[in-house]
Amino acid sequence: MNWVEAIGYLGTALTISASAMSTMIPLRIIALLASCAVITYGFLIDSMPVVLTEMIQIPFNAFRLWQMLRLVRDVEKAADGDLSLDWLRPFGSDRSFGVDEVLFQKGDPATEMYYVESGVFKIPEYGLEVRKGGIVGELGLLSPGNTRTASLVCVEAGRALCVSYSDVKQLYYQNPEFGFYFLKLTSERLFQSAQLDKAKKPAPAEGDVL
């Protein structure tokens, strides 16, 4: 085996390794390295179809790698206190809602979460309003049976970015870092809900046994 064949075998080994990986960032990195090795091999053996195939794949893998790295960076920032869902915009869809439209009710099956872009939405169980920049509906992903923990009604017509749980789950399984930071983000929301529930409970009357 000469050194030209060695480069070809290296490209093959890297391609197989990329296919066997379960996490997205290492997969994209190895796929890019494999393309570089195969392109080099294609030039050395003067096979333009091989070179062309890999040159077409490189931009796709590079873009997906950049997209995932940016996502992890932005989610890390969100987990540190910025609860914006801007980092999920490429994975969601915009929808319009009218006055008095019920997005979901407590106990309903939960399939998506919302990032409010305009208008006003209300959670009647807590008397809370969700305005532009607010996040709502993500706790259904973690609730038993994926059911809604509260209701949501539109009280002032507006728009919201809807992100399906299936997309969130896909991102979660593809990238462990994303999963970790998303759990931090939703945990903060759970603590906020627990504090609201505690605040709603009436204080014990004087003389009551605790």
User: 38-55 pLDDT, tens per residue?
Assistant: 999 889 999 898 899 899
141 lies in some domain: yes
38 against 88, higher pLDDT: 38
Binned at pLDDT 50, 70 and 90, residue 156 comes out as very high
Report the half-sphere exposure of 155 (CA within 13 A, side-chain side): 13
Residues 121 and 166 reside in one and the same domain: yes
User: Judging by DSSP bridges, how do beta strands 102-104 and 128-130 pair with one another?
Assistant: unpaired
Residues 106 and 187 reside in one and the same domain: yes
Contact 161, 119 (CB under 8 A): no
Report the half-sphere exposure of 171 (CA within 13 A, side-chain side): 27
Number of domains in the chain: 2
1 against 186, higher pLDDT: 186
Domain with 131, as residue range(s), is 86-198
125 lies in some domain: yes
Structure tokens at 12: 């093959």
What is the pTM (predicted TM-score) of this model? 0.52
Residues 54 and 94 reside in one and the same domain: no
Residues 100 and 186 reside in one and the same domain: yes
Contact 120, 130 (CB under 8 A): yes
184 lies in some domain: yes
